[in-house]
Chain A
């Protein structure tokens, strides 16, 4: 058949009703003319076999296999429609499993496995400073210069960046903007090319170099109207003129290659060249993110060996103890998300498996009911191939619809995650349901359809026709095998649901434990704003202190002096830590300790609600000129003065401040770092004695954060209109964002677990209904012999109890096997926490009980006579 002919046939197929009508008309005319001619003289005529040629032409207007397929599909859709409940259950179940898995796959694929958006990302590495106890830290500036000098053998390029905030002064007013300070080498390493103007030149790096700025595309368009004339003109950043030399695109590679930027930050709005010196950024101030590019042919192992040699040579020359680690960049940027995401993907796959088990169980029930239907079809001449195709087509159509719905669900899930979770996950904004996810969804759906259809299909094709037809239509063929299969499926569902439920429970307990971590202060009703004083207008300690004193005074007039205070870093959000020197101790006594440093108002502890353990708190008399004093936390006291009282000891810092400070008091630990980490040593310095250019002002008030922010803005404008309010946060929101990742894991996994529980309940309900229906006669006999409904109920419940017991045992074994994946995500609780596992087991048992009681009550309450007659 030529293609053209096939096309004509196909066209005829769709207009065959009309063709048949036309043929009838043609034949009528033929007869009429024949009749006329016969009258005119013809005598004998032969009439053809009308039916035969009608069929012959009809066959010509159809396409064998095509029409069979259409027939199958029409049959399938009729079956789907006639068993709407069943079809709905199957498709929705599959959609749930497929949707959850695909959404997680889309996220994990983009966040973890998509190469970094920089050129040749595989050869990019992070260079980390190594401090005592092998703790990695950002680099300090002199160290960066040393590395740059001495890693030439292994790195072809090295770059550095840190975040910077500047105040952009325009006609509309002052505005605080986040930008980046970068070595001139860095943008090239990231593959950034200016879309307008030029990149930084080598002579623009270093202290005293000309003030130049490159704008981001976003800033250029929003604040300067995308005007190319801006190149060569000066803009005012924090009171200083900077000449605009170019514009960088706002593409994903504009994001700085630091873990913090990747998990929290937005791409910088502007770039400034690195212009540090040893004075502004001395040794010990670890804050620079350093990246390098391996020379072609240099493996990671060789680079690491080289790093050891570099560190050794620096240690000898500079008399320092810091080491150097070289790490692949990808895991540094997104590595923290690997385990939570893998856990979530595993949970999604588990849900899909449960969904498939559920559907398989439903299919088996239906196959049992359809045994007779298939026997009749076979008896009437349906070929085995045709039956096989029919059952497979049904399964595939269901899986296809389920897959399509699941695809929609994945789309909705990803959208919801993008809009709800925002910056909680790096690259979340890049996650999309693309062709790859579509293809995988198709493949998974087809696999589900085939896997779920093949067994019932083979059964249908192999059925014992005579036996079934004789068997009174009760569909008993192979029922023993089938029942066993269904029981296995239900037990598997219970086991897997238990695993999900237990994991969700463990995560929920972790989050609640995190929320219960004693923070050492009262976070309720605390609102904080912050301001940063440029060194141009506030060059020294006195001017900085005067500014914040005035600010605090005006805030105190509104909220009460005892309810407002200052701190350089908010609790929980972590802050700069640095090396501490202890009087009468040297390097020989062991590595110098680290501590979180906080510059705080003298009433800080009272406002925050921190508790004094020894000595005294800071006082308003601890001012500039008076003997310098500090307060430390208990962890500091315990770690650094384990066998003696910390009060009265003298400590010093190796940056910016000369001389030693006396410890006057010890407070109970205030959580300065993430809640999930044990408390760090911390040291609190009086803001009166050591003023800082950047401070948070904290207010304890029941006013709404928005109202407080408005007050902050008003007062700041009054004190100095050139200083913008950086941001206003509540302490509770800081804590919330600290445990956000755990919370997200808990919510997603909790959702999966609830869905799994529901599916397990449906599966169990199906099996129990089926068994009860099969045992109607038996139950009737028992009832007739005097068994009470209660006894019958107990009979069925015993079966459920067995399922649940086996399922829970297997589920516990599975949970134990998977505990490595779970344990890393837990806080303050073991992966085998008995209370949580028991609660999950009880919840599952409760649901199983309900799923059993509902169908059984119907059967147990039935009239024994009806039950006995039932057949």
Chain B
């Protein structure tokens, strides 16, 4: 089992928004998706996830809607908005630049 890593600050929003571009998901689905795609490296605990979702909803990046899951449970599904996609663009660019910068520093010595 891979060691658990903490997220870089600010990346949770980006991961959530990116995940939502594939389609609406509920909170647990989001956490699960991030965990599986990162091969269990990235673990999102609900203590960070749900406040983040509330914050992004208030900022208008995502909308929330109560729906039935395939297993007939009531769950709140989050959907990315146009302003959310724009935000995601900023974040992705910023993140890529950051990674590139870190790489350069790491390679230079």
- Report the bound CA distance from A374 to B32 in whole Å: 53
Q: Which residue of A lies closest to B59 (CB)?
A: A5
* B60: contacting residue among A4, A12, A48, A50, CB under 8 A: A4
- Residues of B with C-beta under 8 A to A29: 26-28, 73-75
Determine whether the beta carbon of A34 is less than 8 Å from that of B28.
Answer: yes
A30 touches B27 (CB 8 A): yes
Which interface class (under 10, 10 to 19, 20 to 34, 35 or more) fits A?
20 to 34
Flag whether A305 is at the interface (Cβ < 8 A). Answer: no
B-facing residues in A17-66 (Cβ within 8 Å): 19, 22-23, 25-27, 29-30, 32-34, 37, 46, 48-50, 52-53, 56-57, 60-61
The residues of B that contact A34 with a CB separation of less than 8 Å are 28
A-B contact pairs, 23 of them (CB 8 A): A5-B59, A5-B60, A8-B60, A22-B66, A22-B76, A23-B54, A25-B76, A26-B27, A26-B50, A26-B75, A27-B46, A27-B50, A29-B26, A29-B28, A29-B73, A32-B73, A33-B28, A48-B45, A48-B47, A48-B48, A57-B51, A60-B51, A60-B55
- Residue of B31, B48, B51, B59 contacting most chain A CB atoms (<10 Å): B51
**Docked pose: A50 CA to B51 CA in angstroms:** 11
A4: chain B residues within 8 A (beta carbon): 60
Number of interface residues of B (CB under 8 A): 23
Residues in chain A near residue B54, CB distance under 8 A: 19, 23, 57, 60-61
The docked-state distance in angstroms from the alpha carbon of A52 to that of B55 is 15
Q: Is A255's beta carbon under 8 Å from chain B?
A: no
A4 to B27, CA, bound (A): 25
Q: B75's closest neighbor in chain A, by CB?
A: A29
Judged by a CB distance under 8 angstroms, whether B58 is at the interface is yes
Chain A residue at minimum C-beta to C-beta distance from B73: A29
> Within the complex, what minimum Cβ distance (angstroms) separates B12 from chain A?
13
Q: Which B residues have a C-beta under 8 Å from some C-beta of A?
A: 26-28, 31-32, 43, 45-48, 50-51, 54-55, 57-60, 66, 73-76
A137 vs chain B, min Cβ distance (A): 82
User: Known: A53-B47, A53-B51. Is A12-B58 also a contact (CB below 8 A)?
Assistant: yes
CB of A9 within 8 A of chain B? yes
**Given known contacts A26-B75, A30-B27, A46 and B43 CB-to-CB distance under 8 angstroms:** yes
Q: Give CA–CA (A584, B51) in the complex, Å.
A: 114
Which residue of B has the minimal Cβ distance to A11? B58
Q: List 7 other contacts, CB 8 Å, given A5-B59, A48-B47, A60-B54.
A: A4-B60, A5-B58, A22-B76, A23-B50, A29-B74, A50-B47, A60-B51
Alpha-carbon distance A46/B4, docked complex (angstroms): 11
Contacts of A48 in B (CB 8 A): 45-48
Q: A813 vs B55: C-alpha distance in the bound complex, in angstroms? A: 69
In contact, B50 and A57 (Cβ under 8 angstroms): yes
The 9 A-B pairs at the shortest CB distance, nearest first, are namely: A48-B47, A53-B47, A33-B28, A56-B51, A48-B45, A30-B28, A8-B58, A57-B54, A57-B51
Give the dominant DSSP class at A's interface: helix
Contacts of B27 in A (CB 8 A): 26, 29-30
A8, B64: Cα distance in complex, Å = 13
Q: In the complex, A29 Cα to B75 Cα: how many Å?
A: 7
Q: Which of A9, A19, A46, A52: most chain B Cβ within 10 A?
A: A46
46-96 of chain A: CB within 8 A of chain B: 46, 48-50, 52-53, 56-57, 60-61
Could you tell me the distance in whole angstroms from the C-beta of B13 to the nearest C-beta in chain A?
Answer: 14
Q: How long is the Cα–Cα vector from A828 to B54 in the complex, in angstroms?
A: 82
Rounded to whole angstroms, the CA-CA distance of A53 and B55 in the bound complex is 12
Give the distance in Å from the alpha carbon of A5 to the alpha carbon of B46 in the complex.
24
How close is B91's CB to chain A, nearest CB, in angstroms? 18
Give every chain B residue within 8 A of A12 (Cβ-Cβ).
58
User: Across the two chains, which residue of chain B brings its CB closest to A55?
Assistant: B51
CA of A19 to CA of B43, assembled, Å: 25
Least Cβ distance of A120 to chain B in Å? Answer: 60
Q: Mark A179-198, 1 if CB is under 8 A from B, else 0.
A: 00000000000000000000
Once bound together, how far apart are the Cα atoms of A8 and B48, in whole Å? 21
Distance (whole angstroms) from the CB of A421 to the closest CB of chain B = 60
Contacts of A27 in B (CB 8 A): 46, 50
Which of A33, A49, A61 interacts with B47 by CB under 8 Å?
A49
Which residues of A are found within 8 Å of B32, using beta-carbon distances?
A: 33, 37
- Please report the C-alpha to C-alpha distance between residue A706 and residue B26 in the assembled complex, in whole angstroms: 89
* Contact indicator A46/B28 (Cβ below 8 Å): no
Q: How far is it, in angstroms, between the C-alpha of A108 and the C-alpha of B68 when the chains are bound?
A: 72
State how many angstroms separate the Cβ of A260 from the closest Cβ of chain B.
72
Roughly how many angstroms separate A23 CA and B50 CA in the complex, as a whole number?
8
B83 to chain A, nearest CB (A): 9
How many angstroms from the CA of A1 to the CA of B51 in the assembled complex? Answer: 17
What's the Cα separation between A4 and B46 when bound, in Å?
27
**What is the bound-complex CA distance between A284 and B54, given in angstroms?**
95
In the bound complex, residues from chain A placing their C-beta under 8 Å from that of B76 are: 22, 25-26
Residues of A within 8 A of B58 (CB): 5, 8-9, 12, 60
* Shortest Cβ distance from A31 into B: residue: B46
A622 nearest CB across to chain B (Å): 104
State the Cβ distance, A59 to closest chain B Cβ, in Å: 9
The distance from the CB of A554 to the nearest CB of chain B, in whole angstroms, is: 94
**How far apart are the CA atoms of A4 and B48 in the complex, in Å?**
24
Chain A residues closer than 8 Å to B43, beta-carbon distance? 46
User: Chain A nearest CB: distance from B5 CB in Å?
Assistant: 13
- B27, B43, B47, B48 — which one has the most chain A CB atoms within 10 A of its CB? B47
List the B side residues contacting A32 at CB < 8 Å. 73
Closest to B45 in A: A48
A862 to B54, CA, bound (A): 64
Would you give the 0/1 interface string for A198-239, flagging 1 where the beta carbon is closer than 8 Å to chain B? 000000000000000000000000000000000000000000
How far apart sit A26 and B66, CA to CA, in the bound complex (Å)? Answer: 10
- Is the beta-carbon distance between B46 and A53 smaller than 8 angstroms? yes
Closest-CB distance, B45 to chain A (whole angstroms): 5
Contacts of A61 in B (CB 8 A): 54
Nearest opposing residue in chain A for B47, CB measure: A48
Contact mask A467-495 → B, CB, 8 Å, 1/0?
Answer: 00000000000000000000000000000
- Nearest A residue to B53, CB-CB: A26
- Tell me how far the C-beta of A753 lies from the nearest C-beta in chain B, rounded to whole angstroms: 60
Q: How far is the CA of A29 from the CA of B76 in the complex (A)?
A: 10
In whole angstroms, how far apart are the Cα atoms of A317 and B85 in the complex? 101
Task: Tell me which residues across on chain B come within 8 A of A37, comparing CB atoms.
Answer: 32
B50 to chain A, nearest CB (A): 6
Docked pose: A5 CA to B55 CA in angstroms: 10
Q: Pick from B50, B57, B60, B73 the residue with the most CB of A within 10 Å.
A: B50
* Chain B residues closer than 8 Å to A30, beta-carbon distance: 27-28, 31, 46
How near does chain B come to A2, taking the closest CB pair, in angstroms? Answer: 8
Residues of A within 8 A of B47 (CB): 48-50, 52-53
Nearest chain B residue, comparing its CB with the CB of A6: B58
